[in-house]
Amino acid sequence: MTYSVAVAGASGYAGGEVLRILADHPQFEVRTVTAHSNAGQPLIQVQPHLRSLAHLDLVETTADALLGHDVVVLALPHGASGAVAAELPDDTVVLDCGADHRLTSATDWARYYGGDYHGAWTYGLPELLHADGSRQRAHLAGARRIAVPGCNVTAVSLALSPGIQAGVIEAGDLNATLAVGPSGAGRALRADLLASELLGSASPYAVGGVHRHIPEILQNVALAGGTGSSIAFTPVLVPMSRGILATVTARLTPGVDAASVRSAWEAAYADEPFVHLLPEGSYPRTAETVGANTAIIGLTVDTEVQRAIIVVALDNLVKGTAGAAVQSLNLALGLPETLGLPLNGVAP
């Protein structure tokens, strides 16, 4: 069976990456692509790397343009998806790559985003551990509304959830520092994202507990069984077009040894097709994940300070966004979870 797909926000980075993956998927056919300021242009004019989709033209983003498809992917700015999604039929599978449907707390939405709160959808991070040992993928089967996680959230959640669920690290006093490529901020023209500002420099942003991904991370920590959780979260823009390298640390639960810590992550990810734990002493680089739907993890214990140190690399546009969307979509439709998703990166 072939499923028809419409992608809203197809002129942006996230929308373009969704299209790149869908173009090679054997059971999806992209029939409609929409945009705002670029409406009326050929898709190939704004996404020149998508040669196989050169026959498509961008149309205005409206609910009417999205009707009549089996699947709708919303790759719109935060705050823009809720109103559009509300006009789509219940039997259409809708994936929101923005933040509008990620948070379960209306209070957190008001504090970190503002504007209308549209409620939480089924969360699209299949590997996320729950406190009872189950995983989020069980909730994605048959889902018709899916919230794709934030890219930074994916890296930090995959780093922490095995240790939280196994009880080998504490949920309080968490720390995450991330090197992030600017494509995560979208394609809109901003002075701080110009090459002349980024090249040769590393720039922290949203410092001091104000980053919008914080409540989503804590929501996932709580889902894994963490209570009283708190996190110091510091993202840093670095001059690479895509990628996240997250260094996450957590205090060990008293009495836990280093072998027990590693065992928790080994058990969690041993059978996961897209999350890979490296051997002791090895750590990932972002270059190893470019273009792939993989998260690669290095893990050690600093016995001097009794903290677990977890380093996660992923491509923010693939495993961090578009790949997660298609992986969740496969599960929702009963297709093989790995179908159409790239496992191998691009090098050099």
Tokens 């490296």 correspond to 278
Residue 226 has pLDDT above 90, yes or no: yes
Q: Is residue 197 very low, low, confident or very high in pLDDT (cuts 50, 70, 90)? A: confident
- Torsion 18-23-29-33 (CA) sign: positive
Q: What is the rounded average pLDDT of the residues 264-268? A: 98
Which one is catalytic: 71, 151, 217, 313? 151
b/e burial code for range 272-289 (CB count within 10 A of at least 16 → b):
bbbbbbeeeeebbebebb
CA pair distance 219, 214, nearest whole angstrom: 9
CA pair distance 205, 247, nearest whole angstrom: 16
Is 151 one of the catalytic residues? yes
Fold of the CATH domain 3-149+319-332 = Rossmann fold (3.40.50)
Residue 189 has pLDDT above 80, yes or no: no
What does the DSSP 8-state code read for residue 322? I
Report pLDDT digits (tens) over 102-154.
Answer: 999 999 999 999 999 999 999 999 999 999 999 999 999 999 999 999 999 99
Q: What is the rounded average pLDDT of the residues 198-222? A: 95
Q: Please state the domain extents for the chain.
A: 3-149+319-332, 152-316
Which pLDDT does position 123 carry in this prediction? 98
| Contact in structure between 169 and 163 (CB atoms under 8 Å) | yes
Which pLDDT does position 184 carry in this prediction? 85
Predicted TM-score of the model (pTM) = 0.96
Tokens 């549209």 correspond to 118
Q: Is residue 224 very low, low, confident or very high in pLDDT (cuts 50, 70, 90)? A: very high
SS3 178: strand
Q: Does domain 152-316 have CATH number 3.30.360.10?
A: yes
First to last CA, the chain: 37
Find the range with the poorest average confidence among 49-53, 79-83, 194-198, 302-306: 194-198
Which pLDDT does position 348 carry in this prediction? 87
Find the range with the poorest average confidence among 178-187, 205-214, 332-341: 178-187
Which pLDDT does position 186 carry in this prediction? 82
Which pLDDT does position 309 carry in this prediction? 98
Report pLDDT digits (tens) over 29-64.
Answer: 999 999 999 999 999 999 999 999 999 999 999 999
CA pair distance 160, 221, nearest whole angstrom: 7
152-316: same fold as 3-149+319-332?
no
| Contact in structure between 325 and 148 (CB atoms under 8 Å) | yes
Tell me the percentage of the chain whose pLDDT exceeds 90.
94
What does the DSSP 8-state code read for residue 321? I
Which pLDDT does position 80 carry in this prediction? 93
CA distances from 318 to 30, 155, 289, 297 (A): 18, 12, 9, 16
